[in-house]
Amino acid sequence: MNSRRQFLVRAPIGLAGVLAACKMESREAAVNAAASSAKDSVALTASSTSAPAVASVHPAPLLSNVPSNAPVLNYTPKHDELVYTFGGAAPKHHIKSGTRIVAWTEDCFDGAVKTAKDLPSKVMTAGHDNPQTGPFFIDGAEPGDTIAIHILKLEPARDYAVSSFGPGFGALVGTDKTAMLGADFPEMTWRYDVNVARNVARAVSSDGKRAWEVPMAPFLGCLGVAPAAGEVRTTIVPGPFGGNMDCPEVRAGNTVFLGVNVPGALLSFGDGHYAMGEGEIMGAAIEGAMNVEVYVEVMKKTFAAVPRIENASEVMFVGSGRPLEDTARVAFKALVNWVREQTGMTMMDAFQFVSQNSKAVIVQLVDPEYTVLVKLDKSRMPTAAR
């Protein structure tokens, strides 16, 4: 059986997420769409957007209401219904724009790693990293459109989570791309016990002498659509289609915008993270199965060339690629173009504004393509000159 490292080395890389950001739909369009349905909708309260015990942050959502008559798809996949690619898989369900999906996802280890004694290379099926729930065919979604995925609720579905290290996988060790003479570290697994009442996950050191706790902040490591040109991508990689972005902002209260590349978009999600440090430097977060609730809309004739994440107070772009500086450039350029679209400013003025007001986060440095998140506080947007 191939080791996880061998699988990752051979995983198709394809095109890096270096497409320039095209014209994006305005924030006002999303807000107006929500407002127009408010009269016949039900409000999303804090308790409905995420479990009180595990949600420490409640972003003000773009979508403050879900229509009361919205169709609901309840879907808990059987194990043999999970998929392990973006693109190339037949849809499991057809849904309409404006559907609420209530679902469940498996963890990144395909449910095979349960204790500190379970090593992924020994207990996992090769190629079964990051199993996906879906894909969902969204009726009416065509190439050139965008889908908006409003994340309503993310809840840990188990009372434990796991993390691991695999030789040749991580930001601080030799890999197939960064060769070193030093020996590989050994493969290891850590089990985290989840305390929902205290909103923490707790682990013990390998010698049993120390313990630590991590505040939980659930998010989806994978959220994506089928790539362009009929390409099939492993669930290990991120790209302009979304995918394994491992971005903590893919969380309850935020909306993710992804450009549609194939009819139906073929949306899928998985890889639940109960918490993760920025950079994900060891190659795994605190990984666990997740209960997921999202509301999906199609936005016609507008294309998100780079994944965008928004809430009422922030706009964010996720760049993917290598080297790291090019990854950041993807996200920064998308933000500059978004500011130009919103304000009508020149390229140079928008460039200057973003340069002084944006923030950038190294999301992960371990996958075949890195990810960087660039964000902007909307309250800092330029106003009319006096």
CB 88 within 8 A of CB 192: no
Number of Cβ atoms within 10 Å of the Cβ of 107: 28
| Domain presence at residue 360 | no
Q: What pLDDT is stored for residue 57 in this prediction?
A: 55
Expressed in percent and rounded to 5, the helix, strand and coil fractions of the chain are 20, 35, 50
Which tens digits make up the pLDDT trace of 91-124? 999 999 999 999 999 999 999 999 999 999 999 9
Residues in the chain: 386
| pLDDT for res 177 | 76
Which CATH number covers residue 258?
A: 2.60.120.580
Pairing state of beta strands 99-105 and 370-377? unpaired
Q: How far apart are CA 319 and CA 324, in angstroms?
A: 10
Is 254 among the domain residues?
yes
Q: In the 8-state DSSP scheme, what is residue 183?
A: P
Cβ-in-10-Å burial (0-12, 13-18, 19+) of 246 comes to buried
What are the DSSP calls for 152-183, one per residue? EEEEE-SSEEEEEE-TT-STTS--SSS--SSP
Which residue matches tokens 């392990």? 84
How would you write the pLDDT of the chain (386 residues) with one tens digit per residue?
Answer: 344 434 343 444 333 333 333 333 333 344 344 333 333 333 343 333 334 344 445 678 888 889 999 999 999 999 999 999 999 999 999 999 999 999 999 999 999 999 999 999 999 999 999 999 999 999 999 999 999 999 999 999 999 999 999 988 888 888 777 788 878 899 999 999 999 999 999 999 999 999 999 999 999 999 999 999 999 999 999 999 999 999 999 999 999 999 999 999 999 999 999 999 999 999 999 999 999 999 999 999 999 999 999 999 999 999 999 999 999 999 999 999 999 999 999 999 999 999 999 999 999 999 999 999 999 999 999 999 88
Question: What tokens were used for 368?
Answer: 């075949």
**237-283 residue pLDDT tens:** 999 999 999 999 999 999 999 999 999 999 999 999 999 999 999 99
Work out the burial of residue 37: count CB atoms within 10 Å of its CB; fewer than 13 is exposed, 13-18 middle, 19 or more buried.
middle
Confirm whether 359 is domain-assigned.
no
Task: Answer whether residue 176 is part of any domain.
Answer: yes
- Cβ proximity of 197 and 166 under 8 Å: no
Those residues whose C-beta lies under 8 Å from the C-beta of residue 377, and which sit 6 or more positions away, are 313, 314, 357
Could you list the residue range(s) of the whole structural domain that residue 62 is in?
Answer: 4-43+53-305
List alpha helices for the chain, DSSP H: 4-10, 27-36, 46-49, 120-123, 324-343, 347-357
Give the whole-angstrom CA distance, residue 72 versus residue 48: 15
Q: For residues 210 and 217, what is the distance between their CA atoms, to the nearest angstrom?
A: 23
Residue type, 375: K
In a domain, 204, yes or no: yes
Using DSSP's 3-state secondary structure scheme, residue 68 falls into coil
d(CA 33, CA 98): 11
The helix/strand/coil state of 67 is strand
Distance CA 139, CA 207 (A): 53
Q: Is residue 91 part of a domain?
A: yes
Residue 47 in tokens = 């308790």
Residue 364 located in a structural domain: no
Helix 347-357 and helix 324-343, axial crossing angle in degrees, nearest 10: 120
Residue 190 lies in a domain: yes
Helix, coil or strand: residue 85: strand
- 33 class by beta-carbon count within 10 Å (0-12 exposed, 13-18 middle, 19+ buried): middle
Number of domains forming the structure of the chain? 1
